[in-house]
A and B are shown apart, each in its own frame.
Chain A
Amino acid sequence: MTDGNYVSRTPVSQQPLKIEQSSPHDIGGLVEIEINRKKFKVPFGMTILEACKLFDIHVPTLCHHEDLCIAGVCRICSVEVEGMRTLQAACSFPITQSMKIHTSSEKVRKSRRHILDLLLSEHYGECYSCVRNNNCELQKLAKEYGVDFYRFGHVKEPYYDIDKSSYSIVRDMNKCILCRRCVRTCIDLQEVGVLEALNRGYDTKITTFLDKPISEVICINCGQCINRCPTGALRTNDPSDIIWEAIDNPKKHVVIQTAPSPRAAIGEEFGLPAGNSLTRELNTALKMIGFDRVFDTNFTADLTIMEEGTELLNRLKAAIVDKDESVKLPQFTSCSPGWVKYCEHFYPDFLSHLSTAKSPQQMFGAVIKTFYAQEENIDPADIVTVALMPCSAKKFECNRPEMVDSGFKDVDFGLTTRELAQMIKEAGINLPDLPKSNFDEPFGEASGAGLIFGATGGVMEAALRSVYEIVTGRTVPFDNLVISPCRGMEGVREASVKLENVKNEWKFLEGVELKFMIAHGTANAKKVMEKLKKGELKDVHFVEIMGCPGGCLGGGGQPIPTSPEIRQKRAESIYKEEAELPIRKSHENPHVAYLYSKFLTEGPCGHLSHKLLHTTYTKRGNYIA
């Protein structure tokens, strides 16, 4: 509810249980219970579901999700508690006294079958034409409970139009089972609040403001709702058919850039546990599929650091030396299109705090259709640029009308990790089996600084490595370049480094305590922005914000399922891979240096940079979708 003066919009009923009263049965914080006639001791207040998980007792769930607060609406997790008139929803029932629980008694099994049959009776969907085929929680339960006929009937025709209006998100409410995970994700996890339940009783449905198409409301395209939907009711707008067409068209030069996060997660789509990076296997697969060139988005991540870092130094100089009051500090990162749109909707008056630097994806598009086209002597009109991204918002971003600075649409398609995995499977390739190969020239290998962009805090860490070194001439004072305050999964983090013995040209920064903040997930962004609004960030210089929980590795296009543990594993694999790279600072990337010497000759934030690599934002507020 309240956290300082910051008020969450989540209804109390959807917030975690608050249990304070201790019970006489409570023995030193532990309660003795029986599950299926076996005795256990569990901490007071733990839910039945948590207790069952602890002891590896399976209880089916649908509306429950580890990232979200408790709902208790699907009732599939019902269990029997001796002495109670009704069954209890395991996910929401706190153990506050000794009790005997049965997780698969006759009553329980019969009830679950009924509930499942009820859900299926209203669920219009054919699994073979559904994105979630083989990765669907409803389908899995139907199998688990041996559903062999539709006891209460089955819908024969779709009853809702599919909403394909958005570049990012597709809503097919015919498959919705009203678990409201999307609603809780959007309002609670992301604090956006696009989705809500409308009507009552049998007419209940999930809808947007005034039932408008999702492209016309304040959806930030983060796709977090998709990642938490148990069914195929939510999915990304999949461009793979058009990409296949381009690949199959010999006239087209199809280029793909791959972001750091997909490679850390795509293995999950092929049955590997989370935390196995397949960077170089992926390069091989992409070439096998037929992409003409495979580039590393980390190259433009390095470029972003050069541009954004220079912009920061320029802002600092203007503020400190020129005493320019109009200069806005702290500077906020702008590489997360979900965050950017969030800021445009909710904090339109603070857009001048955003770095004008484009995201790595968009920089790459612009560079490919100008510099690369020139170098390789290819007509940019024949180049198709695809961006492999962990993100659904990247699809919206590449379709923003201003993203045409190369004279063409800079990035033609944003493709998600899940969508690419599907293409690879369609090509009959089992990714983990492939040999490794490198990225293509002329952009070649990028720095590790670019790689860690995938994890929350990564942009900040990358920027600090370069900014500190540019200003002082020394490497950052952290062991092995690991700026530990930048790492971790806490929602909002804050730290500083002191700039001492700086180089002559940066004298004005001597002794400055460079203060930075990191937030991930727009609910955390909101916390930071509320502080900014109240003028509490006056001494902060740089803020990294990622729209998705965990940063890009938790993006809306990443493999499903997601959980704090899975995101942690993905982060670890990124950091591990990074530690082994030969170059780990953006400003030491030789290909970036080459680009500046050959093409962007005025250097970072120069004239051409400004034209190609920087952008503007729109004050959207509540009205402009």
Chain B
Amino acid sequence: MPILNKPIVFAKENFGDGFEKGLKMKPIDIVLAVRESGLKGRGGAGFPTGTKWMLAATATAEKKFIVCNADEGEPGTFKDRVLLTEFTEQVLKGIILCGYAIGSQVGYIYLRGEYDYMVNQINSAIQKLKNENKLGKNILGKDFDFDIELRLGSGAYVCGEESALIESLEGNRGEPRNRPPYPVNTGFMGYPTVVNNVETLATVPAILNLGSDWYRNIGTDKSRGSKLISVSGDVEFPGVYEIPFGTKIKDMLELVGAKDTKAIQIGGASGTCISAKELNRNLSFEDLPTGGSIIVFNNSRNMLKILKNFMEFFVEESCGQCTPCRIGNKKLLDGVNMIEKGECSVAYLKELLSLGETMRITSKCGLGQSSPNPFISILTTFGDEILATY
């Protein structure tokens, strides 16, 4: 499955010999180049990648690890799938470059269980790099050894959260840890660990090939570069697109052939739902951040049903560790069911919206902190319509 529009970063020619160039640089210069480029994490949280690498590079530890987060569990998101199949080698090279930059010896790819059909492809790409001496011992003749191992997840959404992912890698229940300390300080087996999204890592060889300035000039001031977006729902051309940050919703809808649009869910189930009237808002960390998906709903859709679907997802996918998320999501879902039956008072609805706020600020990890987003945004934006219907 290719990228549907004209790619910006993810065109084969952009990668050139970025990998070889990188390995000729001093490790710290790679970190600085990544920092200069303004690249921020593509997994959702948008943490500056250069800063993360710097923390890992300067940590003193016997071992360091890299984890490529390929868990891609957010409903409606399938852009990493495209990278892993079409740009396998660039993803691997990004991991190796990160390893070289921070001084690590081993990288793991934590692959979503449902993507197991890619295992052979990824493993043969690993083998190919090994044959070319781009992976393994003394890579390209340098005093640098690095290996990549592929690990399969087993279907828990929360295992995409970096510290839960690490627990899962260690063979424990996939439950988020307390942070701080962050994985760059205390990660896999207690060692400094960089966890990066597939897209983040795959971008690095291109940055090293064409330079930080080239990358900085794409996107907006606060959101440098481009973003892969998985588009689904009521559109003529669903699929993966690459857009510069700052792209307006209006243009996005046009690009994907959306008609009669009512609402757009930005950033998967845990994202925000906006009304199609908010056409001039844009996709960027400063306005509408997204880990890589938009879902478009046209006027025939029932927003409460959509919300119910999302909340059912969270009730099931919460790891169950902390109170606000474990019970809170259930209460929000119960609330949706009450609305459906016409049994929810306005006062209780207000209480639930306020509970949503509490969940945002008290949950232990990003799941519980973001799971009330659809509840709050759909009932705020479409509340009148919903209450009029039920």
Q: Using a CB–CB distance below 8 Å, which chain A residues touch chain B?
A: 1, 11-13, 17-21, 70, 72-76, 78, 85-87, 89, 92-94, 96, 107, 110-111, 114-115, 118-119, 121-122, 151-152, 177-178, 180, 197, 199-204
Q: Which residues of A contact B170 (CB under 8 A)?
A: 11-12
Q: Which residues of A contact B322 (CB under 8 A)?
A: 72-75
- Mask, B352-390, CB within 8 Å of A = 1, is 001100101111100001000000000000000000000
- Chain B nearest CB: distance from A542 CB in Å? 37
- Chain B nearest CB: distance from A395 CB in Å? 32
The reply to whether the CB of B223 lies closer than 8 angstroms to some CB of chain A is: no
- Mask, B176-193, CB within 8 Å of A = 1, is 111011000110011000
Q: Which residues of A contact B172 (CB under 8 A)?
A: 11-13
Q: Which residues of B contact A89 (CB under 8 A)?
A: 178, 364
20 pairs of residues in contact across A and B, judged by CB atoms under 8 Å: A12-B167, A17-B178, A18-B181, A19-B180, A73-B322, A75-B324, A78-B361, A92-B178, A111-B358, A111-B362, A114-B324, A114-B328, A114-B358, A114-B362, A119-B323, A152-B331, A178-B323, A197-B320, A197-B321, A200-B320
Tell me if A13 and B315 are in contact (CB < 8 A). no
Tell me if A75 and B362 are in contact (CB < 8 A). yes
- Mask, B204-238, CB within 8 Å of A = 1, is 00000000000000000000000000000000000
- Chain A nearest CB: distance from B163 CB in Å? 7
Q: Using a CB–CB distance below 8 Å, which chain B residues touch chain A?
A: 59, 156, 158, 163, 167, 170, 172-173, 175-178, 180-181, 185-186, 189-190, 314-324, 326-331, 351, 354-355, 358, 360-364, 369
Q: Which residues of B contact A1 (CB under 8 A)?
A: 189-190
- Chain A nearest CB: distance from B48 CB in Å? 16
Q: How far is the CA of A110 from the CA of B189 in the complex (A)?
A: 37
Q: Which residues of B contact A70 (CB under 8 A)?
A: 178
- Chain A nearest CB: distance from B235 CB in Å? 31
Chain A residue with the shortest CB-CB distance to B55: A21
Chain A residue with the shortest CB-CB distance to B59: A21
Since A72-B322, A89-B178, A114-B355 are in contact, a sample of 4 more A-B pairs with Cβ atoms closer than 8 Å, ordered by chain A residue number, is A12-B177, A12-B189, A94-B181, A197-B321
Q: How far is the CA of A115 from the CA of B190 in the complex (A)?
A: 31
Tell me if B185 and A86 are in contact (CB < 8 A). no
Q: Which residues of A contact B59 (CB under 8 A)?
A: 21
> Given A92, A93, A199, which contacts B320 in the complex, CB threshold below 8 Å?
A199
Q: Which residues of A contact B181 (CB under 8 A)?
A: 17-19, 94
If over half of A's interface residues share one DSSP class (helix, strand or loop), that class is named, otherwise mixed; here it is: loop
> Given A18, A21, A76, A201, which contacts B326 in the complex, CB threshold below 8 Å?
A201
Q: Which residues of A contact B331 (CB under 8 A)?
A: 118, 121, 152
Interface centre among A152, A177, A204 (most CB of B within 10 A): A152
Q: Which residues of B contact A203 (CB under 8 A)?
A: 320
> Given B173, B180, B355, which contacts A96 in the complex, CB threshold below 8 Å?
B180
Q: How far is the CA of A118 from the CA of B320 in the complex (A)?
A: 13
Q: A73-B364, A89-B364, A200-B318 are in contact. Are A119 and B327 (CB under 8 A)?
A: yes
Q: How far is the CA of A157 from the CA of B301 in the complex (A)?
A: 38
Tell me if A122 and B173 are in contact (CB < 8 A). no
Tell me if A11 and B173 are in contact (CB < 8 A). yes
Interface centre among A114, A152, A204 (most CB of B within 10 A): A114
- Chain B nearest CB: distance from A470 CB in Å? 50
- Chain A nearest CB: distance from B51 CB in Å? 14
> Given A85, A107, A122, which contacts B327 in the complex, CB threshold below 8 Å?
A122
Q: A11-B173, A122-B327, A200-B317 are in contact. Are A75 and B364 (CB under 8 A)?
A: yes
